Amino acid sequence: MSTDETHRSQQARLSDQVQELHDALLSLESQSELLQIPELREREWFGLLTEKLIPQLSSEAFLVVAVVGGTNIGKSVIFNHLAGSRSSATSPLASGTKHPMCLVPPGFTESFDLSAIFPGFELTEWADADQPLQEIDEDRLFWRTSETPAKTLLVLDTPDIDSDTKVNWARADKIRLCADVLIAVLTQQKYNDAAIKEFFRKAASEDKAVIVVFNQCLLPDDEVYWPVWLETFCEETGVDPELLYIAPSDRRAAEDNQLPFFERTWPFLNDTHTLDHTPRNLNTDLANLKFAEIRMRTLKGSLKTISEPGQGVAGYLGEIRTRSDEFESTARLLATHNLAEIKNWPPAPNAVMIAAIREWWASQREGWQASVHNFYNFIGSGISKTYEFAKTKLQGESLSPIEEYRNQEWEAILGAIENVYEKLEWFRDSGNRLLQPRLENLLSGTSRTDLIQKLQSAHAQCDLELELEDLVAEELKRFRDESPQFYSFFKKLDSVAAAARPATSIVLFVSGFGPVGDVAGNLVANSMLQSVVSVTGDVAGGTIAAAVGETAISSTASSGAGFLEAKFRRLHASFTASRATWLGRLLKENLLGELPEQLNQAATVSQVAEYSKVQDLTAQLRSFANSK
């Protein structure tokens, strides 16, 4: 395979990889928005990717040659020499080129898209030499066809790279990124200028091919000085010129487009080195450049810039990982320091819970068992109503257990809100740079009064009794489905209890509690049971337990009683969890918003597939860029 064919094959493969990297970077950026790091379009290496690598890897071999330099050093003179006519405005005064101009071979635009080669510019066909001098806010690139440059060359004149106008620097930088070859126009006054050296340092780091033209030389006197000037320039910038020319200070020849260019060798060999005084045609010399080699070299230089460890893409990935880790630490901080610890959340009213259990269990009974229990429940209900009537006469109207629970729960909620605000304010004032602005916004956007009013309204609308009944039914159904042996055990116990029901009821009635049923359930739930944990111990000295289906369990059946107590405790825990979840949901909707999800999402950006893909592609491109 010939060298050109090898380069074309490499270029095609690189084109696919670079485009894949570009797409993966954009996808990764969209997922990194929460990290608040600088955007890709603000990064110079990304401009190199979009404005140099992608456009030129996707096309056939041609070179973009840009004439660059400082103010009033004759850039336009060199450009006009390449154009073969006075295409660019020249003047002994600094004319101040504001926009780049491009000479395009005939028919070039029929095969290539100029906007893809020069992204970031608004392309305008060039009709007047003074057009690029206009003060226009948009970044424009003026172009026209020209027969003079070789058919594989695009030649540009550029804005001054040492201008007081920063927009000129930006436009010149865009051209540098697009260019394959830079014609550096230097003079005695400008070779050591800080802005010029900075521009060419970047060019050298990108491995651009640089042709140096030392202009406005006083010949033959400056033949002994320009080597010193150029050596300083090369040492300061890292530039290694491909070709070197000197041009005399001759205003008339410059205006007539007759300025001669003399080639010199570099490095300068010795003081007796033979000097060639035959003028050179820059177009001819450019046409003889090894296009494929120069292009592959500049492409590799661009790849090195974007793929070097700690810089370019790798630096961007490092920023993402660092910031993602910061978000992970912040999310962990929030998780470690609970927003609120509610020690006084009231237990669900046992009376209501037991009633719900009895109702569910009653729906499971069949045949004569159901008849017996229903009979005694009816008697118990009557006794209970008599008891409640007498109690009301003596003590007056009292809140129902569920309303009493509602009041207790609201007090717990108010305490929780206070705790949440105190903790959020502590986080805000702790100096965490990720949390502080977000919490400042949260705490200033929703007042405590507004939040309390919203929660109070939502709390008043909760049907707590229905919620408890639904939870009991769901838990007991799960218990029945997951543990059929215990369901059978309960049915067996229930049959024994139904058969022995009269004796049990009588004993209880004589003792003052009456039949097991509503009366026993209410007495146990309202006056004796204070803790879910102590169900068995608080019921008649442990001789009976009000539990699932009102079954009386003797103290000797400790394993069964313990199991039932555990199930009863689970019902309480499930209800409390349900209520706590309700509060958490409302706090999130009305106070925290998307903060928890945002923190968690940002904390995992460095773990997404696109991150690994960008990492792998960058490593592949770096390997190619460093290959010989």
**Torsional sign, CA 449, 453, 458, 464:** positive
Of 92-106, 282-296, 560-574, 605-619, the range with the lowest mean pLDDT is 560-574
Q: Which two tokens stand for residue 530?
A: 């204070």
Residues near 173 by beta carbon (within 8 Å), at least 6 away in sequence: 44, 47, 199, 202
Cα angle at 90 between 87 and 95, to 5 degrees?
A: 120
Residues near 65 by beta carbon (within 8 Å), at least 6 away in sequence: 82, 149, 153, 154, 155, 156, 179, 180, 181, 182, 183, 286
- Give residue 7's pLDDT: 65
pLDDT in tens, 261-297: 999 988 765 554 567 789 998 888 887 877 777 878 8
Q: Rounded distance, CA 463 to CA 466, Å?
A: 5
- Give residue 123's pLDDT: 92
Q: Which two tokens stand for residue 547?
A: 């539990």
pLDDT in tens, 425-442: 888 887 778 878 878 877
Answer for the pair 372, 498: CB distance below 8 angstroms, yes or no: yes
Of 183-187, 205-209, 329-333, 441-445, the range with the lowest mean pLDDT is 441-445
- Give residue 51's pLDDT: 79
| Average pLDDT score over the chain | 76
Domain ranges, ordered by start, for the chain: 62-289, 350-603
pLDDT in tens, 145-193: 988 777 788 999 988 888 777 777 888 888 898 898 999 999 998 888 8
- Mean pLDDT computed over 351-368: 72
Specify the pTM: 0.59
Answer for the pair 502, 496: CB distance below 8 angstroms, yes or no: no
Residue 516 scores a pLDDT above 60 = no
Q: Rounded distance, CA 127 to CA 251, Å?
A: 25
- Mean pLDDT computed over 73-82: 88
Residue 210 scores a pLDDT above 50 = yes
Q: Rounded distance, CA 524 to CA 541, Å?
A: 12
Of 92-96, 117-121, 206-210, 222-226, the range with the lowest mean pLDDT is 92-96
Rg (CA), the chain: 43
Q: Rounded distance, CA 585 to CA 581, Å?
A: 6
Give the residues across from 209 on adjacent strands: 181
**DSSP classification of residue 315:** H
* Fold classification of 62-289 (topology level): Rossmann fold (3.40.50)
pLDDT in tens, 376-387: 555 555 545 555
